[in-house]
Chain A
């Protein structure tokens, strides 16, 4: 029986929230002009300052009052330099990774929120790469503050930021196996060592039922 129900539950209609509700990644297309607000002016400025705009920017998305530019990986540093020097985006608020295992060829996404204090504007850059070739050029040369953020995203998602000055794990121990925030990495299930004894992960312990 298919029943969309008043709460919009799809699939199994599982009410526990833990039984694997149907989840699919959002895939919005490109937005149409006018974008609204300062976004039109911002994109115009970028087009004028950056002749390769059409070949570097794959999509321009405006959603919920926020502007996202999807940038080709090879052009990321170039685009960032223009955004920093000409459009005065002085600050990069770090990088956040997202893992979409079902998006074949673009499994890993890096998101950079930029801030221009001069013009009081925000824009977001998004770069997607495949799991088989998880390389993205580092932006530490452009915004030095991205150093630790890129290390964190490498640590958690396994995205390799090329030409980063020291891409090592930052939050997890140096000898940790795997990248914990990927979707194929289960929550929990880590054996605990205590006073020399190893306590198996919760999923492998005795059950008394």
Chain B
């Protein structure tokens, strides 16, 4: 070893020489590694690395630039959401689940609420307007999630402009979320039995304008990337995973559809009335990163189509309820805009404080204790932008979940990293991981 180098110090261990690289002087590191006899190098990439999509740690075994083995280290964002939910009532659970996959909060909330509704046996009592709003919100959310997948995926491969375009479109969607729910992320907008509040006045024309604008804007990224020779070289034939591999690894979503199988729960096992919408399931048959990219690009247009149909339905359902009629389940608050912001309507306050003792008791019981859910267990899967998001809910008849488990598509699909990248070049791992589109908040929960 040469003189001490503060940027790349090394120490001897039983496993061999360990170099700690903190950036900076790569020349001395290359010299030191070059002086050892060993061809095999183990590199620890992440958990803090700009191209690992969050706090994902990849442990790579390399021979030169060829990857011989990949292992993922996860758990850096574990927040104990499932455990915490056992200590809060059913309605409060939505504020937890919305924080799992933070790029697809509406999907988490919908899976959770559909499962509770199945347990309560009120699936068919959820008002149609609530279901249509859920579908519209989910498809808007699919666009914003795909935009992050495309933008960050391109950025990680060195293309900066697509990210600007993608985040511009995501911003349009987040503005709509803010207009409807008051929040841009982590909205807790979908609630057991319906949605938190109806659309504000003038929402439908604004969303129609946004749909038109996005349809025009999407062309920017299409023009930049589809058929771009550099992009093709970085993505075609990279991260290969065929149908047999995807099936045995339980892979769903765009990665599964890139093998040519048109499996989409919105079509195969519809929920929230998806059977009433006209849209296509997008597939590719290349089994590679480029195919997954094309699927996400084309799914944007399908989402816009569904949103337009949902808006038509909403216009026909103007004034219809957005929460179940059963007052033993529906959240008692009647929201209205007052001089100090959104809150309980004065009529509701007048009723519970001034005229009806029973209404006050009812409000108090439902808000503090919550409603009871009959004992049993259900599994509800929905098609999130990443694949099948499954909610396994167990109730013991109480006002809180006995056990909550989420089958997170990111968690499951990340297992494919090794199958997609081993034997390839180190630079292609980045493309493969980006094409899985894992969100660590969902992986670790």
Task: Say how far A19's CB is from chain B's closest CB, in angstroms.
Answer: 10
Structural contact, A117 and B388, CB atoms closer than 8 A: no
Nearest CB in chain B to that of A174: its residue = B75
Task: Say how far A30's CB is from chain B's closest CB, in angstroms.
Answer: 15
Structural contact, A111 and B377, CB atoms closer than 8 A: yes
Structural contact, A7 and B328, CB atoms closer than 8 A: yes
Residues of B within 8 A of A172 (CB): 75, 78
Residues of A within 8 A of B89 (CB): 17
Structural contact, B415 and A24, CB atoms closer than 8 A: no
In the complex, which of the residues B82, B250, B268, B407 contacts A181, with contact meaning CB atoms closer than 8 Å?
B82
**Known contacts A15-B368, A23-B402, A92-B250: A171-B78 contact under CB 8 Å:** yes
B10 contacts A by Cβ under 8 Å: no
Complex Cα spacing A67 to B249, Å: 23
A204 contacts B by Cβ under 8 Å: no
Structural contact, B376 and A15, CB atoms closer than 8 A: no
**Known contacts A7-B328, A96-B392, A187-B84: A171-B74 contact under CB 8 Å:** yes
Task: Say how far A45's CB is from chain B's closest CB, in angstroms.
Answer: 20
Complex Cα spacing A17 to B403, Å: 16
Residues of A within 8 A of B412 (CB): 93-94, 145, 148-149
A86 contacts B by Cβ under 8 Å: no
Complex Cα spacing A83 to B95, Å: 37
Complex Cα spacing A146 to B411, Å: 11
Structural contact, A143 and B263, CB atoms closer than 8 A: no
Complex Cα spacing A14 to B377, Å: 25
Per the CB 8 Å criterion, the residue count for chain A at the interface is 53
Complex Cα spacing A133 to B290, Å: 48
Residues of A within 8 A of B247 (CB): 90-91, 117
Nearest CB in chain B to that of A122: its residue = B379
Complex Cα spacing A17 to B379, Å: 25
B364 contacts A by Cβ under 8 Å: yes
Task: Say how far A169's CB is from chain B's closest CB, in angstroms.
Answer: 8
Structural contact, B379 and A98, CB atoms closer than 8 A: no
Task: Say how far A61's CB is from chain B's closest CB, in angstroms.
Answer: 9
Residues of A within 8 A of B20 (CB): none
Structural contact, A187 and B248, CB atoms closer than 8 A: no
Nearest CB in chain B to that of A27: its residue = B375
In chain B, residues 65-101, which have Cβ atoms closer than 8 Å to a Cβ of chain A?
Answer: 74-75, 78, 80, 82-84, 86-87, 89
Task: Say how far B438's CB is from chain A's closest CB, in angstroms.
Answer: 12
Task: Say how far A114's CB is from chain B's closest CB, in angstroms.
Answer: 10
Structural contact, B377 and A23, CB atoms closer than 8 A: no
Task: Say how far A118's CB is from chain B's closest CB, in angstroms.
Answer: 10
B305 contacts A by Cβ under 8 Å: no
A-side interface mostly:
loop
Structural contact, B249 and A145, CB atoms closer than 8 A: yes
Residues of B within 8 A of A90 (CB): 247-248
Complex Cα spacing A90 to B87, Å: 36
Complex Cα spacing A101 to B350, Å: 46
Residues of A within 8 A of B261 (CB): 117
Task: Say how far B416's CB is from chain A's closest CB, in angstroms.
Answer: 9
Nearest CB in chain B to that of A7: its residue = B365
Residues of A within 8 A of B211 (CB): none
Task: Say how far B211's CB is from chain A's closest CB, in angstroms.
Answer: 31
Residues of A within 8 A of B119 (CB): 64
Residues of B within 8 A of A156 (CB): 82
Structural contact, A64 and B396, CB atoms closer than 8 A: no
In chain B, residues 374-415, which have Cβ atoms closer than 8 Å to a Cβ of chain A?
Answer: 375-379, 381, 388, 390, 392, 394-400, 402-403, 405, 407, 411-412, 414-415
In the complex, which of the residues A8, A68, A97, A146 contacts B250, with contact meaning CB atoms closer than 8 Å?
A146
Complex Cα spacing A9 to B378, Å: 23
B56 contacts A by Cβ under 8 Å: no
**Known contacts A23-B396, A111-B392: A143-B248 contact under CB 8 Å:** yes
Nearest CB in chain B to that of A147: its residue = B415
Complex Cα spacing A90 to B75, Å: 28
Nearest CB in chain A to that of B369: its residue = A17
Nearest CB in chain B to that of A190: its residue = B80
Task: Say how far A82's CB is from chain B's closest CB, in angstroms.
Answer: 17
In the complex, which of the residues A7, A18, A26 contacts B395, with contact meaning CB atoms closer than 8 Å?
A26
Task: Say how far B76's CB is from chain A's closest CB, in angstroms.
Answer: 9
Complex Cα spacing A91 to B261, Å: 14
B356 contacts A by Cβ under 8 Å: no
Task: Say how far A143's CB is from chain B's closest CB, in angstroms.
Answer: 6
Most buried by A among B377, B388, B414: B377
A170 contacts B by Cβ under 8 Å: yes
The 3 nearest A-B residue pairs measured at CB: A145-B250, A26-B375, A96-B405
Measuring CB to CB, which residues of chain B are less than 8 angstroms from any residue of chain A? 74-75, 78, 80, 82-84, 86-87, 89, 118-119, 121, 247-252, 261, 263, 268-269, 328, 364-365, 368-372, 375-379, 381, 388, 390, 392, 394-400, 402-403, 405, 407, 411-412, 414-415, 444-445
The contact sample of 10 A-B pairs, CB cut-off 8 A, is A7-B328, A17-B400, A23-B398, A63-B377, A64-B378, A93-B381, A96-B392, A120-B269, A148-B414, A172-B75
Measuring CB to CB, which residues of chain A are less than 8 angstroms from any residue of chain B? 7-9, 14-18, 21-26, 28, 63-66, 68, 90-94, 96-99, 111, 113, 115, 117, 120, 122, 124, 143-149, 152, 156, 169-173, 180-181, 187
Kindly list 16 other residue pairs between chains A and B, CB separation below 8 angstroms, not including A17-B89, A94-B390, A187-B87.
A7-B328, A17-B368, A21-B369, A21-B398, A23-B402, A28-B376, A63-B376, A63-B377, A64-B119, A93-B412, A96-B392, A96-B407, A117-B268, A144-B248, A149-B407, A156-B82
